Amino acid sequence: MIPSRRPATARVLPVLLIGALALAGCAGPKASGPLPGAHERVVSRDGPPRVAVISHSTPGDAFWNVVQNGAEQAGRDLGVEVQYQADPDPGNQAKLVDNAIAQGADGLVVSLGSPEALRSSVTRAVAAGIPVITINAGEEVSAAFGALTHVGQSETVAGQAAGQRFSRAGKHELLCVIHQAGVETLNQRCRGAREGFTAGRVVDLQVDINNPTDAQSRIRGALQSDPGIDGVLTLNPQVAANAVNAVRESGSKAAVSTFDLNGDVVASIRAGELLFAVDQQQYEQGYLPVVYLKLFWDNANTVGGGKPVYTGPGFVDRSNVDVVGEYARRGTR
């Protein structure tokens, strides 16, 4: 874990702030207390504002644990009560949103893995005066659903960049492994890779992340049946490990890369088993929405100007894995 250091200048900041506050008394207008507006539901009751963060993931998923870490740290930093919940079933996720509305949440942060299943619940929250920020998935419909903004990564752009990297690495046939059916963001990643991979063709392979043994077997079978595959792009770190094993078992020389980052991915990059990882910096997808909601409540601020706020794609390879790996180890990358 990288220790935090307090710069020497930090010791003089309290003195400077006292002076600045004294000057403020004669330098301009002062805030005189809460202003009327959309934040009235927050300032009209006792206790900290409450934010429900509701994702379309499996509880305990390593990627989403980092999102949760970001949201909860922002809550501690800003005095906001954050409750994180997750369910991969679109109908159940919609029920979690409905429950948050009924329980009087002051703000909602929602990932739209299956947008149509969430449409009525999200629009109901907006109609009830609850500000909503979408994260990770649902960029295309976020504004139409009434969200303040979207925080995430353009999956198409990220897929294109991954495909370009495989092309520059001299690969000619790419296997794109989709691990969860019906999640549009995963399809966008593979479509983007197909657009960016100008050196050859891309073949999609559907597997089930909940059956890792079968997923590994299917990847191995694809490599054995088509020896021309010299690149494998997975869309999840867990499946990346299955792909590395499948390459080894099949005797293939295919290079493997993945979307998203965790400790195992960092170790595999260091070992030369993975060419690169596409990092969407999901800690920011948890942290930033809480900041934006606090600014909206306190100062009617919005961000993005009608456009999404992108957290990626970034790339982790052997050139920067040691630095990023330290942050991944502490759960913030």
Mean pLDDT of the chain: 89
pLDDT value, residue 19: 45
pLDDT value, residue 134: 98
pLDDT class of 262 with cuts at 50, 70, 90: confident
pLDDT class of 44 with cuts at 50, 70, 90: low
Residue 104 has pLDDT above 50, yes or no: yes
CB within 8 A of 51, min separation 6: which ones?
71, 75, 80, 81, 82, 83, 105, 106, 107, 108, 109, 289, 290, 293
Spatial separation of the C-alpha atoms in residues 287 and 84, rounded to whole Å: 12
> At 275, is the secondary structure helix, strand, or coil?
strand
Spatial separation of the C-alpha atoms in residues 18 and 6, rounded to whole Å: 20
Residue 237 has pLDDT above 60, yes or no: yes
Residue 40 has pLDDT above 80, yes or no: no
Domains, the chain: 40-154+282-312 (3.40.50.2300), 155-279 (3.40.50.2300)
136-170 pLDDT, tens per residue? 999 999 999 999 999 999 999 999 999 999 999 99
Cα-based distances in Å from 283 to 58, 65, 93, 152? 17, 9, 21, 10
Return the minimum-mean-pLDDT range out of 22-31, 83-92, 295-304.
Answer: 22-31
Residue 9 has pLDDT above 70, yes or no: no
pLDDT class of 3 with cuts at 50, 70, 90: very low
Each residue of 30-52: b (16+ CB within 10 Å) or e? eeeeeeeeebebbeeeeeebbbb
Using CA of residue 286, residue 283, residue 315, residue 305, what is the dihedral sign?
positive
pLDDT value, residue 307: 93
pTM listed for this prediction: 0.76
